[in-house]
Amino acid sequence: MTVDIVIGLQYGDEGKGKVVLDKVKNKEYDLVVRFNGGPNAGHTVYNNNKEIVVHGLPIGLIYGIKSLIGPCCVIDLDKLEKEIKYLEEKGIKNVRENLLISNNTHIIKREHIEEDNKREDVGNGIGSTRSGIGPVYRDKHARIGMRYEEVKEKKYKMVDAMKTIEGNDKILFEGAQGMGLDIDWGDYPYVTSSNCGISSVINSGLDFNRIENVIGVAKIYETYVGNKVFQPECNRELEEISEKGNEIGSTTGRKRQCNWLDTEKLVRYIKMNSITELIINKCDIIEQVGIYRTIDLKFETFEELRTYISVIINTKCKTIKNIRWSYSSNKI
């Protein structure tokens, strides 16, 4: 019996997709569960050297694994159908057969997207992905939303998430966005409208005693897409990171703002989610740029930076068993 969880510890785009893909490749999971968010996400993965970008669908589908969209997620049925066709065109088999949707997952309606767009157009927005996320979660909590169970012509299999989770032995929970965008613990109001961490996993109907590994994903520098000012102005080094790291949003094509690693926040988010394994991505980019620093400290070498981060995390975060440093966009 295994329950593994992948959680983003910054502002999304930490490389969760790569980690999930690595996990499903190497381990036999019976079920993959998307536990928060909707088509605002953009997970870029490489399968047999082919680039595949998924938004609303769980990555498990790419490897032919039964995959559930859980009750803390929201779905856009038009986009979902387009994405299924996209995966089918890429030669991926059994996408429809393997997709399960929880009866209590909420539906993004056209009016949600129109409202989101309008707010952004008139300049009252926070720089959303214009997917209708804010309005659909508002309607859910105002108890006027629409759940999948109310959809008249259901194209995809509807299930009870709790029963589905209970009935499977080896499960991977796949997160979207990251803790810096969490509705309660992120930089409000510059956040998304779901909880991006372990609370949504448990709220998907899981007996939390089953949880084995909680994998936290971060980058060695940070990026954020949206309307708050995040990147310090006229910083040539951060510009270089942005270019070398190809920091462009996979859902909206917007440039991601870059900044140095905030270790204090990272520690906080690790603690809140009982992270057992930490993956730090994009170390290759920092080595290429040759600037070794966090938000408040500078180092002479990459090794010194790495040691500093390791010591802080290992001394402050009791649940951490392992830290892995990744130097490649297609493997850990």
- Phi/psi at 117 (nearest 5 deg)? -60, -45
Q: List the structure tokens of 286.
A: 């920092």
Contact pattern for ligand IMP over residues 190 through 209, marking x by CB under 6 A: x-xx----------------
How many residues in the shown chain lie near ligand IMP by CB under 6 A? 21
For this structure, is 262 an active site residue? Answer: no
Positions touching Mg ion (CB under 5 A) are: 13, 42, 250
Q: Answer whether 158's CB lies under 8 Å from 173's CB.
A: no
Of 68, 107, 136, 225, which lies in the binding site for ligand IMP, with binding defined by CB under 6 A? 225
Tokens encoding 98: 């393997």
- Rounded Cα gap, residues 131 and 61, in angstroms: 22
Q: Does 13 bind ligand IMP (CB under 6 A)?
A: yes
Residue (192 or 263) nearer to ligand IMP, CB: 192
Is residue 39 at the binding interface for ligand IMP, with CB under 6 A as the rule? no
Q: Which is nearer to ligand IMP, 37 or 71 (CB)?
A: 37
What backbone torsions phi and psi does residue 55 show, to the nearest 5 degrees? -115, -70
Estimate the crossing angle of helix 110-121 against helix 133-141, to 10 degrees. Answer: 120
Among 120-128, 167-175, 258-266, 305-313, which window interacts with ligand IMP (CB under 6 A)? 120-128
Residue 158 bridge partners (DSSP): 101
Q: Cis bond leading into 71, ω under 30°? A: no
Check binding of 128 to ligand IMP (CB under 6 A).
Answer: yes
Catalytic residue among 13, 76, 116, 139: 13
Distance between CA atoms of residues 216 and 275, nearest Å: 6
Q: Does 242 engage in binding with ligand IMP (CB under 6 A)? A: no
One of 43, 55, 106, 112 is an active-site residue; which one?
Answer: 43
Could you give the C-alpha distances from 223 to 9, 124, 219, 259, in angstroms and in order? Answer: 11, 22, 8, 6
**Is 13 tagged catalytic?**
yes
Q: Which does 128 bind (CB under 5 to 8 A by kind): Mg ion, ligand IMP, none?
A: ligand IMP
Taking CB under 6 A as the criterion, the residue among 98, 177, 195, 200 binding ligand IMP is: 177
How buried is 8 (Cβ within 10 angstroms: 0-12 exposed, 13-18 middle, 19+ buried)?
Answer: buried
Q: How far is the CB of 323 from ligand IMP (least distance, A)?
A: 23
> How does strand 2-8 pair with strand 213-219?
parallel
* Shortest separation between residue 253's beta carbon and Mg ion, angstroms: 12
DSSP characters over 247-259? -B-TTT-PBPEEE
- Our finding on whether 57 is near ligand IMP (CB under 6 A) is no
Binding footprint of ligand IMP on the chain (CB under 6 A): 11-13, 40-42, 126-129, 131, 133-134, 176-177, 181, 190, 192-193, 225-226
Residues forming the active site: 13, 43
